[in-house]
Amino acid sequence: MSLGALFSIWRARVRAIVRRVLGLKPKLPKSDRRLRLILNGKSADRADIRLAIEEMRQAGTRVDLAITHRLGDATHLASISTRLCDVVVAAGGDGTIQEVVEGILRVRPTRRPSLALLPAGTANDFATGCQIPRFPPLALQLAASGRSRSIDVLQVRGLDPIGEVADLDMSIAVNVITAAFIDENATEISDELKRLIGGPAYWIAGILRTLHLRPRRIEWRSDDARGSDDLVVLTLANGRQTGGGSVVAPSALINDGLMDVRMIRAFEIADFPAVVREVGDPDFPQPRFVIRCRTKRFTLSADEPWNLTLDGEPRTGRRVEVNVLHKPIRLVLPPGAPVRPHRHRP
């Protein structure tokens, strides 16, 4: 459990003790929204989340709780929530959000509930990028009273199936799709790889010897360009950050109908400082190693299957097509969230 979660639990327990000693009741506004909180089973014992739910109920807001136990539970629970709630609250990390969104997309558009987030995972990249409060009572208050906005989702075709999963067209990502082409026998590379995938980092070039990068020839095509390059890292971003806080698309908006693509070409150790500069500066003039574009549709293909992650969940594919689904769901967001400003209904 992260230090942030432990602090939140401690804070919630102190608040509960003070209220009991002083005989105080939580002063929360009542909301007419019906909330259904889908909680990742790994966080089912978090006292701060359960206390926040109880406080909302005492204030008169209806909050139903459903706990997941296995892969796919969140998708199923979200898909049957149409008549049970107005807002589905995804309580977990990016993987839980992804499953919940898949479930909401299975509902007829006119009957889809809104989505809200309660960060309860390890990294919580999408929620953090959307400026969702980490403290459960604040996240639930936002879900009950905040303004919802229509947002985009990335739809992915061409992935290899997982077990008995056959509906490949429903593979989606809400935050970021990433791929890093490395030696399959490499070990102890996760931290360094996250730095390379993320923003500019300041470490010695010799660290590359531990990365075991294995460039892969990828044929790619966007709305306006195409190419064939030896790549080591690529990201397709709807949100702004991944890998526990690494910013990969600082200007991305989750409702503009576009994904932010970044590809890093193969390079030698001597070129490492130049790569760091190009990664850290989206406006770098005439980059040699970093390719960027914004597009509605993006395809990638290789001679052999390659590994990628959808919101942190590992998948494989050979020819992958990614499309932006423009505003298929509504997400409850705070002021200052990364959305294009324009008029919306409350």
For 326, the enclosing helix (H) or strand (E) is strand 313-333
For 241, the enclosing helix (H) or strand (E) is strand 241-242
- Whether 321 is catalytic is no
Q: Is residue 289 within 8 Å of residue 280, measured between CB atoms?
A: no
Nearest partner of 115 among 97, 95, 88, judged by Cα: 88
Q: Which residues contact 1 (CB under 8 A, 6 or more apart)?
A: none
Q: Is residue 148 within 8 Å of residue 98, measured between CB atoms?
A: no
Q: What is the 3-state composition of the chain as percent helix, strand, coil, each rounded to the nearest 5?
A: 30, 35, 35
Q: How far apart are CA 180 and CA 178, in angstroms?
A: 7
DSSP for residue 174: S
DSSP for residue 270: G
What are the residues facing 234 on neighbouring strands?
179, 263
Of 55, 99, 192, 313, the active-site residue reads 313
Measured CA to CA in angstroms, residue 69 lies from 72, 106, 131, 191, 226 at distances of 9, 21, 28, 29, 43
Nearest partner of 236 among 305, 174, 317, 318, judged by Cα: 174
Q: Is residue 168 within 8 Å of residue 157, measured between CB atoms?
A: yes
Q: Which two tokens stand for residue 53?
A: 């739910």
Report the catalytic residues: 313
